[in-house]
DNA sequence: TTTT
DNA sequence: TTTT
């Protein structure tokens, strides 16, 4: 049984096109970088902005939809949970990453929306991924994420807890 | 104006007593480490548990209340927003931290509840902090948190965005 | 595809024991009345309390768990969505009801917790409902709920949208 | 102190232009009717849609912003709490209403967005309400809301709990 | 890196 | 009554 609640709700814009990969078992894993901006007045009365860049991960069916319909600039609602990971970088140094594992998504329009797009968290008929990419195959765009974490070879087991 | 929604909702238990410090201006900053556990069945049908340790930060009035009433083991509801920071460690290496900046809190009872306690996000009359601790004063308990970030000297400006 | 987000998050206490019924198809439908209280200071500086009584409905597996483990006084976290219904009362007058259709639940302890209880939103092994109750069977406790709506005969189709 | 959590999160579209009134003390009270639609497959495999119409109320500053920037068709994020009211209709019959008392709002664009609009939950400089309407003054558009509740004369005290 |  |  679960103990506790771990819930994240985001509405923001993508800083880049989604990055979709597939596990050896064929499960889609799509990553996006999502901006939310807040404002406060500092003590001098000036407007101060601060943008957080959230690393959001979509698995499976949701990963396919996200990869197909979201684009740089898209506005999206995401619901999910926080996952903290620890890994050893190529430089041998321990690093930490924070991801939001999405379990619900809804497109909200906004600039960057692809051509025929539409989509949503519950889309009934959607096309299959255009093609399977083996891990490591294809040009892997640089990740703009705040916290870099490697994500190259997936087991099918690499799913959100 | 804010652009986007950045909201976190947690219900979990404290891994340690809260850690309260005060800015030079007297503002309380309380940190807790909050556990949430989820379960899934792996492909062999075994129950697999995974615990996330969230770093939650309370500022000002909420920081005083959290520091006074929460204890190791306490169960608490927290609402806040995600903040990602980047800093240079003492070893000169760039590091990243993720905090949940709380803006609402509610005690839920459970083990670890202090003596007369009570408290809540809106508690009307509460006592002032017992004493000011200069930064760095006192034994700083080891944090069970996933991601270590230093937090020693605060300006009064060091408040959530 | 869904259009929009309709989400409710509650933490509160049950005003009565749960009321579980079963559809002809054997699906459990459990209703609880959940209290949340807020406080504000009125203009005279007096504390003013106000309690909302939420009608929460659990279907299926969650309905069985809720009926088995929740009790009057139990503290519980509920996540769900709002559903507004319109029906004609026995007096021939049109009436309206508002329900929260739960899709997640988590017990938080507190007074009223049953004997061996435990439970949670994801409990793996739980016993089947002790017995089927035909609609109308058994003493139907008075509901403290704000808005009364009849709920006697269910089709198996009477499930949350 | 508050006991419990009572939180609603909505993303939807307005079915009509907002309805703004002012209390005698000059506080804005804006009401909107917000649609969220969900879909499920019935047992015959057909897509079944269901739309909920939420009555959302904005008070004070937020009421002014909502009244000024939202329009029929606008897409909006709303966060608030549930409030159930009971009143006696003009026919002498007791009735019930459910409102979401908003405490955060964010425009999401979409059709129906007014002219120069913009706005958001935190908008720094915004114009004052065009004019004060005494209660009862002006043609009060019919409310499209699901549950009708009278709302004519406000005391300044008529604010969310 | 987004967006308004 | 909205929207996709």
Distance CA B39, CA B50 (A): 6
Q: Does D130 touch chain C (CB under 8 A)?
A: no
End-to-end CA distance of chain D: 12
Q: What is the pLDDT of residues A16-60, one digit of tens each?
A: 999 999 999 999 999 999 999 999 887 788 889 999 999 999 999
Radius of gyration over every alpha carbon of chain C, rounded to an integer in angstroms: 17
Closest CA to A75 of A140, A15, A142, A154: A15
Distance CA D121, CA D58 (A): 11
pLDDT (average), residues A78-92 = 94
Q: What is the pLDDT of residues C133-161, one digit of tens each?
A: 333 333 333 334 344 444 444 444 445 44
Give A-chain residues touching B52 at CB under 8 angstroms. 6, 81-84
The pLDDT assigned to C89 comes to 87
Report whether B157 contacts A42 (CB < 8 A): yes
pTM to 2 decimal places: 0.78
Q: How confident is the model at residue D43 (pLDDT cuts 50, 70, 90)?
A: confident
Query: Domains along chain A?
Result: 8-121 (2.40.50.140)
Q: What is the pLDDT of residues B20-63, one digit of tens each?
A: 999 999 999 999 999 999 998 888 899 999 999 999 999 999 99
Asked whether the beta carbons of residue D106 and residue B2 sit closer than 8 angstroms, the reply is yes
pLDDT (average), residues B96-122 = 69
Give the residue ranges with Cβ < 7 A from strand F.
Answer: A 109, 118, 120; C 1, 3; D 12-16, 33, 35, 37, 51, 53, 72-73, 75, 110-112, 144-146
Closest CA to A75 of D68, D107, D129: D107
- Distance of C1' in F3 from CA in D75, Å: 8
Report whether C6 contacts C81 (CB < 8 A): yes
Q: What is the pLDDT of residues A115-141, one digit of tens each?
A: 333 333 333 333 333 333 333 333 333
- Distance of C1' in F3 from CA in A121, Å: 15
Report whether C99 contacts C57 (CB < 8 A): yes
Distance from C130 to chain D by nearest Cα, in Å?
27
- Kindly give, in sequence order, each residue whose CB lies less than 8 Å from that of residue C92, ignoring residues fewer than 6 positions away: none
SS3 C110: coil
Q: Tell me the pLDDT of chain D averaged across its residues.
A: 77
Q: Does D108 touch chain A (CB under 8 A)?
A: yes
Q: Residue D75: pLDDT above 90? A: yes
Give A-chain residues touching B86 at CB under 8 angstroms. 146
Q: What is the pLDDT of residues D86-133, one digit of tens each?
A: 999 888 888 899 999 999 999 997 655 443 333 333 333 333 333 333
Which pair of tokens denotes residue B25?
């201006």
The pLDDT assigned to C112 comes to 54
Q: Does D128 touch chain A (CB under 8 A)?
A: no
F strand bases under 7 Å from protein CB: 1-4
Q: Does A74 touch chain D (CB under 8 A)?
A: no
Put simply, the chain B residues between 2 and 61 with a CB less than 8 A from any chain C CB are 9, 11, 38-39, 41, 47
């Amino acid at each position: 049984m679960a103990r506790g609640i771990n819930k994240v709700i985001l509405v923001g814009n993508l800083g880049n096109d989604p990055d979709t990969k597939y596990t050896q078992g064929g499960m889609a894993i799509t990553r996006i970088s999502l901006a939310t901006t807040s404002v406060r007045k500092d003590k001098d009365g000036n407007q101060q902005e601060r943008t957080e860049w959230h690393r959001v991960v979509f698995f499976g069916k949701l990963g396919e939809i996200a990869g197909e319909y979201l684009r740089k600039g898209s506005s999206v609602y995401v619901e999910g949970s926080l996952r903290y990971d620890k890994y050893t970088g190529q430089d041998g140094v321990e690093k930490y990453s924070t991801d939001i594992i999405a379990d619900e998504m809804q497109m909200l329009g906004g600039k960057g929306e692809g051509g025929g797009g539409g989509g949503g968290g519950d889309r009934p008929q959607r096309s299959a991924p255009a093609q399977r990419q083996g891990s490591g195959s294809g040009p892997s765009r640089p990740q703009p994420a705040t916290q870099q974490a490697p994500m190259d070879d997936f087991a099918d087991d690499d799913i959100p807890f």
